[in-house]
Amino acid sequence: MLSKFIRASIVILAETHNPSILSPDWLKRNKVITEDPNQFVLTPDFAVFDSKSFNLIVDRQRLQLSVKKVTTANQKKLVESVIKYVELLPHIPFIRLGLNFDWLVEEDDQGSPPEIAISMGEINDFHSIFPEHDLCFGSIIFAKKNGYRLRLVVEPRDENALIYRFNFEYNIKDLDSGAIKERIKTCLDLSSFASKIVKKTTKLTEGESKQ
């Protein structure tokens, strides 16, 4: 069984973003993203910037910056880029911050991902409710700590793989830019925490997981 860290992104919800200013020149000049774009779209209400390492999508209410290849170095750049954006635009009324990480766990010669079983009240066998169906189960877990709310969705990708989707959400409404930046900086620690959850729930060793 192998696990792979396949996605890392940061999302900021705001009352009003301003996509129209996010030209490649503005992003580079202000050191938000210094890479040249492979693809770029800019309208008053929508901006897309795609480069070697990053994908940026912004509309009036939502900014999402993702790394294309998840490495520790790229995650550090991700954090630095979003912090720079917040520093440059402190007048924007930010509302929510989301730190997102996806892991893929799949079968190999050593074994398959763990099977998820569920019960509800006195019902332990859902095959009796769905006769003649092939069933596979996922799960949703909510947890709160240190000002964030974690939503973890574990879903089957097929019979031999599971996707773990972590969303750590902070309420940043009415916070100043310094407090918002401190929450953004938790990205690497929460990424590591997510990795530990994947390993513990699948009983993977360090050698069986990779970024």
pLDDT at residue 127, rounded to an integer: 79
Structural domain spans, the chain: 2-204
The region that residue 31 occupies, defined by phi over 0 for left and psi between -120 and 50 for alpha, beta otherwise, is left
Among 17, 9, 193, smallest CA distance to 98 is for 9
SS3 (DSSP) at 10: strand
- Please list, in sequence order, all residues whose beta carbon lies within 8 angstroms of the beta carbon of residue 129, skipping any fewer than 6 positions away: 123
What span, in angstroms and rounded, lies between the C-alpha atoms of 84 and 10?
Answer: 13
Arithmetic mean of pLDDT, 2-7 = 90
Residue 206 has pLDDT above 80, yes or no: no
Q: What is the pLDDT of residues 118-168, one digit of tens each?
A: 788 888 888 788 888 887 788 999 999 989 999 999 998 877 889 999 999
The mean-pLDDT minimum among 15-19, 20-24, 121-125 falls in 121-125
What percentage of residues in the chain have a pLDDT greater than 90?
A: 72
- Taking Cα atoms as reference points, which of 69, 105, 113, 101 lies closest to residue 193? 101
How much is the pLDDT for 189? 97
